[in-house]
Amino acid sequence: MSAAKLVIGNWKMNGSASQVRAFANLAACEWPGCEAALCVPYPLLPAAQMAFGATPLRWGAQDCSAEDDGAFTGEVSARMIREFGARYVIVGHSERRAGHAETDGQIVGKVQHALAAGLTPIVCVGEKAEERDGEQTAMVLRRQLLQLVRALGRDLGSIVIAYEPVWAIGSGDAAAPGMIDHTLGFIADMLTFHAGSSASAVRILYGGSVNPRNAEAILSRKPVAGVLVGSAALAPADFMDICKAAARCSTPATSDAT
Ligand code: 13P
């Protein structure tokens, strides 16, 4: 089985159709061992579909509704996102938890709709600086994940989890690789405790100030299945360097032949 590392770019509220096209050129290069995607603002989904359709680069969105359709002004459903060929959707990013008061319960609903629409949800979790300082990281992560684990059952294996400590996002200082190991190990253990064997298929990423200089040190850690990248995903050369680091860190595919 191949253990390709995932590199997901989160463009946040940045980018343009011409920037999308600039990434199509680099996407022409194959990175064996790296699965890469850009999560763009909704209006750029058609440009992403057109530019990346014939490349190995995938695309996605940064949020979806917890409803199918109806009177929800300004909302976008997972099915609508999927219609543009998207593979992924980020759910529960800390900027949405903080700025839009998203609750863990709403996030469960979004994840279920994403899965029903055929998207792979990337569920973000992570503690704030004061929670880290108060040694509450484990408690916060457990709270953010428990409802989800209970609601998903066997579907748990179809999601991706991104550990993004809020204090590391946009700070220029990623968490130390040893700390990332420790926290991702905690998340994996917690999932296994509550969900048994479905937990083993969950890919757990790290996000927060990942850049071409620190990517390899982070991606080479065994529990790290990939990275969620913000600002460094806006420049094609930086994103490509992170993808190359991911390819170097991937486990070679094992042959099924005996
Ligand atoms: P930065 O890589 O800019 O710190 O952003 C991380 C992030 O929030 C990705 O979702």
Given the residues 93, 95, 102, 113, select the one marked as catalytic.
93
The pair of three-digit structure tokens given for residue 18, joined into one six-digit string: 């011409």
Task: Compute the CA torsion angle 136, 141, 146, 148 (nearest 10 deg).
Answer: 150
Residue from 122, 160, 164, 167 whose mutation best tests the ligand 1 pocket (most atoms within 8 A of CB):
164
Tell me the pLDDT tens digit for each residue of 135-183.
999 999 999 999 999 999 999 999 999 999 999 999 999 999 999 999 9
Residue from 12, 211, 239 whose mutation best tests the ligand 1 pocket (most atoms within 8 A of CB):
12
User: Residue 217 — pLDDT band, cuts 50, 70, 90?
Assistant: very high
Q: How many helical (H) and strand (E) elements, i.e. helices and strands, does the chain have?
A: 10, 8
Active site residue 93: yes
Strands of 11-163, DSSP E: 34-39, 58-61, 88-91, 120-125, 160-163
13 alpha carbon – ligand 1 mean position (Å): 12
Residue in this structure with the two tokens 């992560």, named with its chain if needed:
141
Name the strand (E) or helix (H) holding 7.
Answer: strand 5-10
Give me the domains of the chain, ranges plus CATH numbers.
5-249 (3.20.20.70)
106 alpha carbon, distance to own chain's centre? 18
Report whether 122 contacts 205 (CB < 8 A).
Answer: yes
Residue 210 scores a pLDDT above 90:
yes
199 CB within 6 A, ligand 1: no
Q: DSSP readout, 65-94?
A: -SSSSSS-TT---HHHHHTTT--EEEES-H
Tell me the pLDDT tens digit for each residue of 32-71.
889 999 999 999 999 999 999 989 999 999 999 999 999 9
238 CB within 6 A, ligand 1: no
User: Residue 254 — pLDDT band, cuts 50, 70, 90?
Assistant: low
User: Residue 258 — pLDDT band, cuts 50, 70, 90?
Assistant: very low
User: Residue 198 — pLDDT band, cuts 50, 70, 90?
Assistant: confident
Whole-number pLDDT of residue 3: 82
